[in-house]
Each structure stands twice: as structure tokens, then as C-alpha cells.
Amino acid sequence: MSQKHVQLTIGRLLTDEAFRLQFLNDRKGTLAALRDQGIELTRAESTALMRTDCTVWSSVAELIDADLQCCVLQDD
């Protein structure tokens, strides 16, 4: 089950801008919130996600078709 949760978390990091920004600002807190929502990640998986270079998530997200993205809309 844990691999499924890793995949869900990575998918969300790549397609959900608000979640990605939250994670980039507070990795540990974001993963703790996921755990509270029932997403079970091992300590090693959480550490690996936190250890991953921050630029990976945003760089790969830019390559994903916009129709698959959930974007933050800002008021001007």
C-alpha cells in the first residue's frame, strides 16, 4: 500500500500547484498533514521526498500538459 501512496503523493506534487507550493514551503508539515489524511508513507519514503531537490517538482510540473494541472488562480 505504501508504494501506492508514494505514487499518489508524487502525482499530486506534479499536478497540484497549491499542494506543491505548500510542500516546498513546509515539507515536513505537508507530509504530516497527508499522514493525518490517511496517506501512509514510511519514514524512509518521507525522508526521500524531503531530500529530493526542490527544483524537480516544479521543473517536471512545467512539462505536464496544462489540462492535467490544478493551478492556483491569483487576483490581480
In a domain, residue 72? The reply is no
| Number of structural domains the chain divides into | 1
In a domain, residue 76? The reply is no
In a domain, residue 48? The reply is yes
* pLDDT exceeds cutoff 90 at 53: yes
In a domain, residue 11? The reply is yes
Model confidence at 72, pLDDT cuts 50, 70, 90, reads low
The parent domain of residue 47 ranges over 2-66
In a domain, residue 47? The reply is yes
User: Read out DSSP for the chain?
Assistant: -HHHHHHHHHHHHHHBHHHHHHHHH-HHHHHHHHHHTT----HHHHHHHHHS-HHHHHHHHHHS-GGG-B------
* pLDDT exceeds cutoff 60 at 64: yes
* pLDDT exceeds cutoff 70 at 73: no
State the pTM of this model. 0.85
At 14-23, the pLDDT tens digits run 999 999 999 9
